[in-house]
A = this chain, B = another copy of it.
Amino acid sequence: MNYNIVPLTELINQFARLPGIGKKTAQRLAYSILKQPPERAHQFAEALINAREKIHFCSVCQSLTDLDTCQICTDERRDHSTICVVEDPRDVMAFERTREYNGVYHVLHGVISPLDNIGPDKLRIKELMERLSDGTVKEIIMATNPTVEGEATASYISRLVKPMNIKVTRLAYGIPVGGDLEYADEYTLARALEGRNEI
């Protein structure tokens, strides 16, 4: 005998399809929806559809926006001669949280990864090159992740950009602020030593 409450099973399955949500958590989340007033379920449903329908990629930097061109790209107070190249829209938010960066961004939507069959043509590199063609950009900051793929992508793009007489920089490697030297891995420590600055 198998008793199946179809609408509940369907909701649990939807939650379980989300990344990092297992069967048990999905059940807990589905039950929590049932305990809320119906308006809450409607608001949630509306937020899902709204976000999916209204948000798309910025026509300039390829980050997420609900406008044609995102607020950062249209902000005249920002320095449009410096582009910070990142892998993911979430990295844009990470930089914005620092409140230290005043340039603009370009989101690649991934990194070159031959093992996953992702070549340069699958990233938003063409769109980046188009932005560089009018000569306003003076510096490209490569801010891909410090992984093998992130490094490879950074050096691939730097090889494309350097002949255009644009400065290409890479984020500094070193020990994280508040970190403990004892627990730093040898590669990070070696890079921190290599990149030491006079104080």
List residues of A whose CB falls within 8 A of some B CB: 1, 3-8, 10-11, 13-14, 17-21, 25, 27-34, 36, 38, 40-55, 64-66, 70-72, 75, 77, 89-90, 96
Find out whether the CB atom of B48 lies under 8 angstroms from the CB atom of A32: no
Most B CB within 10 A of own CB, among A18, A20, A34, A71:
A18
State the Cβ distance, A107 to closest chain B Cβ, in Å.
Answer: 12
Q: Classify the interface of chain A: helix, strand, loop or mixed.
A: helix
A8 to B28 Cα, complex, angstroms: 24
Q: Does B5 contact A66, Cβ atoms closer than 8 Å? A: yes
B34 near A53: Cβ-Cβ < 8 Å: no
**Per a CB cutoff under 8 Å, which of B6, B25, B41 touches A48?**
B41
